[in-house]
Structure 1
């Protein structure tokens, strides 16, 4: 019996020493790496609660950048079983910006900052999350699933099944931002335009011709943009005030050109807070020179709308704060 007790005591000492050695020196035979901290986000329409990843916005168009690292961030769109979840993984403190890129736009959805700390205890590595900050959107944490619900407003746009041949709209609390086109070193007249927050009414007329199926690259989009006083109930724009109204005309085909309107007239009458009647007959350039751009539209109803991209017909919707 004494021999058995001595043996058990001896074995206990060996076990204690073995654990001590593992704690202090050798952890090679212990596998308990927790991996990175993982965060999941569902982006929903703030009004309807509809999951907009892969439906209203394209999951392939979502991009994630990290201001605290030069390495590409680890993120993916989880689409199995129609989950449509954005998953971001990180070991280190990070300042992520999540954007949606679509044609010519690159819009911020939200910012996500996380403070992490890497720890090793009893040979086990783990990432401790000290703080999480989400900015640029309303959100809530689903305690049951651990998923952050990001709530965003949605900019409506023309759907793929709708006609683009007669698109007329005006935008409240807006103004036109006019800058030289990015590749305008060949022609200083090229302009790029965007609709941003402001104190004007911005009007947009867009026509789009799909062209012939038998001919490549013969699609043609033409636009007219201009601003008016939001307090006005009617207006007349002509050579006397085209520049003040930032009246622009342009086209997009194999090339893209925007120029200021130089001739013609635009008249409008307010019907209600949601509707104007506008007639457009404007041009820029000379008929015997290139480019000569002209837009003639009889009196049409322009309805209150939200922002859309300038050039190509955008078959989808956009998100914004």
Structure 2
């Protein structure tokens, strides 16, 4: 009888610790906006630059990664955005290294943490972004860029029009 109770308790523990859902709260979004422009904002407090989407005449592309973090961890949420702009009159593009400044590509990070200003992080992005228009509402985009001297992002996906 004692063995039966031990087995029953162990089975109960297993069922309590298992879940059908993995509660993965990670979000990946690939979108673009028409009739917009990208403003790059920086300040003296942080090395992170921020891309603000404003009204304009270009296409602005935005990749977003967000996570809620651990279930029982306070203030560990994290988000990052990669944004860039292109002329609305082109159907394909390929920007490499110094040409990335034309597209104003920027990696912005948000969290309950500090990204203190660091001269060692004051680098222009290096790498390549390319894209091809699939339709009026979809682009195939590839990003392989190093930001802030050592933060590489390699992303490929279909970016859909956000209205």
Q: Which TM-score applies when normalising by structure 2? A: 0.71
Structure 1 position 305 matched with structure 2 position 140? no
Gaps of 5+ in 2: 1-24, 116-121
- The equivalences for 1:135-154 within 5 A come to none
- Kindly tell me the number of residue pairs found equivalent between the two proteins: 133
Moved over 6 A (4+): none
- Structure 2 distance, partners of 1:282, 1:228, is 16
Query: What is the Cα deviation at residue 282 of structure 1?
Result: 1.4
Query: What is the Cα deviation at residue 294 of structure 1?
Result: 2.9
Structure 1 position 185 matched with structure 2 position 44? yes
Query: What is the Cα deviation at residue 190 of structure 1?
Result: 4.0
Instruction: Name the structure 2 match of 1:268.
Output: 131
Instruction: Name the structure 2 match of 1:237.
Output: 95
Query: What is the Cα deviation at residue 248 of structure 1?
Result: 0.4
Query: What is the Cα deviation at residue 196 of structure 1?
Result: 1.0
8 Å Cα contact 1:169-1:305 kept in structure 2: yes
What SS does structure 2 have at the residue aligned with 1:279?
Answer: strand
Structure 1 position 255 matched with structure 2 position 113? yes
Higher RCO structure (Cα 8 Å, ≥6 apart): 2
Query: What is the Cα deviation at residue 220 of structure 1?
Result: 1.7
Greater Cα radius of gyration, structure 1 or 2: 1
8 Å Cα contact 1:265-1:282 kept in structure 2: yes
2:59 to 185, 194, 201: 201
What SS does structure 2 have at the residue aligned with 1:185?
Answer: coil
CA deviation map 1:110-151 (0-9, x unaligned): xxxxxxxxxxxxxxxxxxxxxxxxxxxxxxxxxxxxxxxxxx
Structure 1 position 246 matched with structure 2 position 104? yes
Structure showing the higher helix proportion among its residues: 2
Query: What is the Cα deviation at residue 217 of structure 1?
Result: 2.0
Gaps of 5+ in 1: 1-162, 288-292, 307-321
8 Å Cα contact 1:249-1:261 kept in structure 2: no
Instruction: Name the structure 2 match of 1:172.
Output: 34
- Structure 2 distance, partners of 1:285, 1:176, is 19
8 Å Cα contact 1:249-1:260 kept in structure 2: no
- Structure 1 distance, partners of 2:114, 2:89, is 33
What SS does structure 1 have at the residue aligned with 2:44?
Answer: helix
Instruction: Name the structure 2 match of 1:217.
Output: 75
- The equivalences for 1:8-157 within 5 A come to none
Instruction: Name the structure 2 match of 1:280.
Output: 143
8 Å Cα contact 1:283-1:295 kept in structure 2: yes
Instruction: Name the structure 2 match of 1:96.
Output: none
Query: What is the Cα deviation at residue 297 of structure 1?
Result: 1.5
What SS does structure 2 have at the residue aligned with 1:215?
Answer: coil
- Structure 2 distance, partners of 1:164, 1:201, is 26
